[in-house]
Amino acid sequence: MKVLETYEGTIQRELYSADAIAGAIERLACEIAADFRGQPLLLLGVLKGALYVVTDLARAIACVENGPSEVVVDYLCVSSYGNETRSSGEVRLLKDTTETVTGRNVVLVEDIVDNGLTLEYLNALMAERKPATLRSCVLFDKPYHRRVDVPLGYVGLQCPDEFVVGYGLDYQEVFRNLPYLAQLQPWVFQSE
């Protein structure tokens, strides 16, 4: 797939193509739709990384027969990486939901789980609000450096132990709009 020349020059290899990602999202949509058949569902996208996965997932769920009775999409924004490739370990809530969570079927939608602290923080925050059900949906599971044992719910694809960008994931805020998941050339990080 042809992308910006400036992007192509910095990409070492493609890890998951746009088609592979779309296929994983379709499978996740089928699993979620089956579990919430006939019930209302609140999808909470965890920004910024989940900006594409939550919108693509919401549309894919709408295309599954006998799925939820309705789907509402809302967003949270958290950050623990800032502009670094390593997590600070401190999760900051930058924007809360606008929807009420209490009594609803909630699925937290994440692009990636790495050390697990972000999802653990959000699970605890949402659980305090007493949703009817609370699950998580993670597109890329990167299990090599987990610091907490957090349940993942729906899982899309396994992520290798590399710093990855694309499909919502950034390096210093760039590359989120790359349509596939990629590993960057090592020289990109040399100044760090």
Report the site for ligand PRP in 131-160 (rule: CB under 6 A).
none
Residue of 19, 74, 96, 114 marked catalytic: 114
Assess whether 170 carries a catalytic annotation: no
Structure tokens that stand for 112 in this block: 């990636």
The least CB distance from residue 135 to ligand PRP, in Å, is 16
CB nearer ligand PRP, residue 36 or residue 75: 75
DSSP state of 185: P
Report the site for ligand PRP in 46-65 (rule: CB under 6 A).
46, 48-49
Binding-residue pattern over the window 97 to 136 for ligand PRP, x denoting contact by CB under 6 A: -------------xxxxxxxxxx-----------------
For β-strands 92-95 and 154-158, DSSP reports them as: unpaired
* CA atoms of 20 and 24, how far apart (whole Å): 6
Is the sign of the CA dihedral 143, 146, 149, 151 positive or negative? Answer: negative
CA dihedral 128, 133, 139, 145 (to 10 degrees): 50
The least CB distance from residue 115 to ligand PRP, in Å, is 4
Q: In what order do the strands lie in the sheet with 154-158?
A: 92-95, 70-79, 40-47, 105-113, 133-141, 154-158
The least CB distance from residue 120 to ligand PRP, in Å, is 8
Q: Compute and round to an integer the Cα radius of gyration of the chain.
A: 16
Cβ-closest position to ligand PRP: 49
Report how many residues bind ligand PRP under the rule CB under 6 A. Answer: 18
Active site residues: 114
Contacting residues toward ligand PRP, per CB under 6 A: 46, 48-49, 79-81, 87, 110-119, 170
